[in-house]
Amino acid sequence: MYEKIFGIKYKNTIKYPWKRRVVKIYSEGSNYKIYRILRGCSSFMYSKDILYIDKDAKFLLLNESRSNVNLIIKTSWKFPYYWNHFDHNVRCSYKLGLLSVIIGLISLVIGIISYI
């Protein structure tokens, strides 16, 4: 499954936790998308081709009729993962940190201009 999504085999990738890849899961029925880090599955799982997601993501991706929906799984990057993170503490701190970096860069540019 990893090779279908990312185009490379999992055994050829670096196994560090910060190098894990992000996937975007889009539901055609409800028009919602979620971002998750692909962690794979353990050895005792029933099948390697089954997507395991948490309860909150399942209810978000289902439409009102609660029937089967088509999920589109694509590769993504880490910026939208942290920008739309499911934990509000991570999401808020990421957005505030990005805002403070932008304000810091603006003040640095203003300081350099005033020095010249």
Q: Do both 46 and 89 map to the same domain? A: no
Q: Do both 68 and 97 map to the same domain? A: no
Q: Do both 50 and 100 map to the same domain? A: no
Query: pLDDT by residue (tens digit) across 23-67?
Result: 899 988 788 899 988 776 666 666 666 777 888 888 888 877 666
Residue 25: phi and psi, rounded to 5, are -110, 115
Domain span at residue 102 reads 85-116
How far is 95 from 25, CA to CA, in rounded Å? 22
In which order are the strands placed within the sheet that holds 22-27?
A: 33-37, 22-27, 71-76
User: What is the total count of domains within the chain?
Assistant: 2
pLDDT of residue 1: 72
Query: Global pTM?
Result: 0.75
**pLDDT category of residue 105 using cuts at 50, 70 and 90:** very high
